[in-house]
Homo-oligomer: A and B are copies of this chain.
Amino acid sequence: MIDRLIEKIIEKRNPTVVGLDTRLEYVPEHVIEKCSGTSPFEVAAGAILEFNKAIIDAVYEHVPAVKIQIAYYELYGAPGIEAFRLTAQYAQSKGLIVIGDIKRNDIGSTAEAYASAYLGETPLKSGSMPAFGLDFVTVNPYLGTDGVMPFIKACKDYGKGIFVLVKTSNPSSGEIQDLPVEGKRLYNKVAEKVVEWGKELMGTKGYSHVGAVIGATYPQQLKELRAEMPNTYFLIPGYGAQGGSARDIISGFDGHGLGAVINASRSVICAYRRSPWKEKFSPQRFADAALAEVLRMREDIETALLHSGIKPW
């Protein structure tokens, strides 16, 4: 699946990923008004799905992938989860790669259930069928190898990929992740594990199907980890609303402008509420505002890459 992601990045000439972290409060009133349902959660989930579809319609020709943060769907119970599934399905129908930001992990037998649910297929009394059928998911490393192997097996069996949390973008990520371990930091040790897990799952373009999550808000660590993990693709959240700039994320790329996908969520899906786009687009045109921000972001990153002497895509 990493090969397909790289192909899409080159095809769209864009390493940015739209984060569909859609909360009901982001959805303009005119979208909500059109939705009905038997419960407030059904209405909310329906409105979020419609919002997402409009964003996908606007951006799918310009980005390789979307990242869907499942927490914002779990907020609305089972109808929310169904909206998550249908959002993923709709994005895939438009040729987009879908990264499920689920940050799951557990002991082996339970991790196997998560891997089956999100990447593989659910066993039934006769046969099996996919519950979500995503392309990539994010995985938490705290439980070690036997919490990750079921995901790796699903990657092999179904041609999928994962991104393992190494250094997250939040302010307190250092409390645990930066603890000193044998002359290094904990995140370096986790990075070593990710490299090890990824070795048996190499794609054909120099990168493993086992990637890593490294926050844009820690540019120094990003640079360090790029050097330590030359065959690991990075999913870099934290650009935009969380404060990461294009300059911060440049060191996550290789010499060809590959090796990293940059996620922006709120700065794109809420663009219609933020300067400079809110002056140009009404809430009715929220999807156009999202596209405008996606194109601006692409420019921003391409310019930063060119300034660093990297001629990308």
Q: Which residues of A contact B (CB under 8 A)?
A: 21, 23-25, 32, 40-41, 44, 69, 71-72, 74-82, 85, 101, 103-108, 110-111, 113-114, 116-118, 122-125, 129, 131-132, 140-147, 165, 168-177, 179-182, 186, 189-190, 193, 237, 242
Contact = CB atoms under 8 A, between A and B. Distances in A.
Contacts of A182: 179-180
A170 B144 contact: yes
B75 A143 contact: no
Contacts of A71: 104, 106, 110-111, 113-114, 117
A172 B40 CA distance: 43
Contact of A74 (B72, B113, B125, B142): B113
A118 B77 CA distance: 9
A111 to B, nearest CB: 8
22 contacts: A23-B113, A24-B124, A41-B129, A41-B131, A44-B122, A69-B106, A69-B113, A71-B114, A72-B113, A75-B131, A77-B117, A77-B122, A80-B131, A107-B170, A142-B165, A143-B172, A146-B172, A175-B193, A176-B186, A176-B190, A176-B193, A181-B186
A3 B41 CA distance: 32
